[in-house]
A and B are shown apart, each in its own frame.
Chain A
């Protein structure tokens, strides 16, 4: 029997990386048929034939792009990516998994400089945040190991997501300012939200039932 009562096939974009395992576990709890293939495969497109579902495994930052262009109907993605990418998609549900914080961090003995330099994987979030604080900063975009930047003198501050704080501590950095909380969201394409409204509602309903603290 099909997972969906209707005949609408749904394509779901899933983020590989930080929140993947937790997201797959969430899908299983919600009663979606998640094959072993999804977890182990190197394939990027994985159909679940009898459930009229199809998964696209994507880099997290690309999930909102796929959904905006409509090649995926819905997607599972962190709020950090949504804030950075500013895509035109529906943000339907807070799945309350993949919890972390967007922080400003730096060395504890740091002294203010004339032009604050900020290293981050999230240039838009960083610029917007400091602008709201009434501070003009120079943002340097990095693609990983952002914690390095203050240690080697590339930047005064970093803006990054922190979950346990261990990486920061191990690199001698301290959390200085809290920007916002980050959780994982269910997003939907503008047209799919209407054209496949039943299928989108059904999956959102299944998800809603297993969101922690929402029962």
Chain B
């Protein structure tokens, strides 16, 4: 690679300029305000973690992590997510704190990117983890809180799609005998390749009833009515239990009054082999990629020695920023205070007095009248001159 030019940054890294950052901080504040009222406490963890602990346990693929060596020769990673470090904390420093534990974070995470626009290598997330509660009500709490977060942030139109990993798994286990073939079907769903899924379905040696059931899976997306359809497809096994979980989840979400913003999607697959139950993904109008993602991950904590069920979600702040209204009219008013050396103490005291009164004051020493005349006052709501010439 050519030597970087002065203005260039490593691939996927971004500057956030004051206007955007002000909006991001405002959104973070709104989300924090919402989340704290549900009893979640904020946590912060290091930017660097060992590859052998957090790196290995993370859902992020190894080749998407930034890996480096520390002075002792250990491989460390820039944290690829916050869920895994939190699992580490809950299993170590917090091991005597009784479950359930509710934590939230507002932090940056890192994922190495291929060369393309719109994909950040460092991005900010606001997320929650509800650890130690395996009930449907915990799933409902996570989803409802996600809805309230998006509302608090001012996202006008959004939908959260909900699925269950056991529905797809159970249905495949019912219909297909060989695990290898099941894996192929899962892979097609994961790649969202329904054409490939149907083509494979035509070639496998199963009865037409089984084919019908798997084909119907691709259309199981919609409102509450899909639960009955899913129930008919599922039978009594693993898939059937998943449908009952979804049914009772939906009831809980009705109690929260959030089902208008929800969509059931029984073929939703996020992150093969990581999630263990209910999964969900949030979308906003005019945004091509998901805004948030989450779900139940009951296997992660055990990898750190404190086996516990858990669920949570993370909101991508850069995407949230693009679908929420601009802050422009809420900008604070700024006062420019110009002073000459002779009136410095008086001017600075005046500035402090205004600041104490919640005003934004910028002070500047000027040499004389010419400099004052040259000041256009642009960007300020008011200019105050404290100079000898004034009297």
- A residues adjacent to B (C-beta < 8 A): 68-71, 79, 88-94, 185, 189-192, 194-195, 197
Contacts and interface: CB of A to CB of B under 8 A. Distances in A.
Interface stretch (B13-21, B134-142, B187-195, B341-349): B187-195
A190 B288 contact: yes
Interface string B286-316: 1111100000000000000000000000000
A86 to B, nearest CB: 9
Given A91-B195, A197-B221, 5 more contacts: A190-B289, A191-B289, A194-B161, A194-B221, A195-B284
Interface of B: 118, 157-159, 161, 191-196, 198-199, 221-222, 263, 265, 281, 283-290
B287 A70 contact: yes
A199 to B, nearest CB: 12
Nearest to B117: A69
Nearest to A68: B288
Nearest to B287: A191
A91 B191 CA distance: 9
Given A197-B221, A197-B263, A92 B287 contact: no
13 contacts: A68-B288, A91-B191, A92-B195, A93-B194, A93-B195, A190-B283, A191-B287, A192-B288, A194-B159, A194-B221, A194-B263, A195-B284, A197-B221
B193 A91 contact: yes
Nearest to B161: A194
B194 A91 contact: yes
A72 B198 CA distance: 25
A195 B195 contact: no
B169 to A, nearest CB: 21
Contact of B285 (A185, A190, A195): A195
Nearest to A197: B221
Contacts, number: 56
Nearest to A94: B195
Given A195-B157, A197-B263, A185 B288 contact: no
A68 B239 CA distance: 31
A91 B198 CA distance: 11
Contacts of A93: 194-195
Contact of A194 (B118, B195, B265): B265
A105 B196 CA distance: 26
A163 B199 CA distance: 21
A96 to B, nearest CB: 10
Given A194-B283, A195-B159, A88 B290 contact: no
Nearest to A72: B288
Contacts of A191: 283-284, 287-290
B202 to A, nearest CB: 11
Nearest to B288: A70
A194 B288 CA distance: 11
B195 A197 contact: no
A129 B263 CA distance: 39
A79 to B, nearest CB: 8
Contacts of B283: 190-191, 194-195
A79 B263 CA distance: 29
A177 B31 CA distance: 57
Contacts of A89: 192
A99 to B, nearest CB: 14
Contacts of A94: 195, 198-199
A127 to B, nearest CB: 16
Contacts of B286: 70
Nearest to A195: B283
Nearest to B192: A90
In the A-B complex, the 9 residue pairs with the smallest Cβ-Cβ separation, listed nearest first, are A70-B288, A191-B283, A90-B192, A91-B193, A94-B195, A91-B195, A69-B288, A194-B283, A194-B161
A88 B118 CA distance: 14
A207 B281 CA distance: 27
A26 B221 CA distance: 26
B40 to A, nearest CB: 27
A91 B196 contact: yes
B131 to A, nearest CB: 28
B60 to A, nearest CB: 16
A89 B195 CA distance: 12
Nearest to B118: A69
A38 to B, nearest CB: 24
A64 to B, nearest CB: 12
